[in-house]
Amino acid sequence: MRQHRLAGLSVPQFRAMALLSFSPQASLSCVADYIGSSLPAASRMIDGLVSKKLVGRKECCHDRRQISLVLTPLGFSAFIESHQAARRQLSEQLAGLSENKKKGVIEAMRCLGEIFGTDADRLPRDILSATENRS
């Protein structure tokens, strides 16, 4: 994952972009909660993403006093590219496992997805199908 991250982005910045990819128009508070930081730290981080033109700010449609954060087209394509590269790398790393071990990894990922509420249910299918195509 770290090898395929966009140059100059930290893991928290990448995670913030991930949140904005599936939760458009999230607030700064949502981003801070998601990455586990304070509001001031999240604000500084978002400032960096805005200066790189990866994230934009816009007035919230429900409350003019609130600002919504959105991925810019550049930010969205950069996030997708980086995310796909990370998935390809994971698939390559799992390709050498036996079918039994792959199923074990998938089951563990599903369990973690239930615990942490991630997209782990989607991830195993992607990884399994990529590794099966190589066999």
pLDDT in tens for each of the 135 residues of the chain?
555 555 567 889 989 999 999 888 899 999 999 999 999 999 999 999 999 999 999 887 777 778 899 999 999 998 888 888 878 888 888 888 999 998 898 899 888 888 877 554 444 444 444 444 444
101 and 65, same structural domain?
no
99 and 70, same structural domain?
no
CATH number for the domain that contains residue 28:
1.10.10.10
Q: How many domains does the chain have?
A: 2
58 and 3, same structural domain?
yes
Mean pLDDT of the residues in the chain: 81
Parent domain of 104:
95-135
102 and 68, same structural domain?
no
Length of the chain: 135
pLDDT tens-digit map of 40-63? 999 999 999 999 999 999 887 777
Residue 126 token pair: 């992607």
Beta carbons of 133 and 91 less than 8 angstroms apart: no
48 and 5, same structural domain?
yes
106 and 62, same structural domain?
no
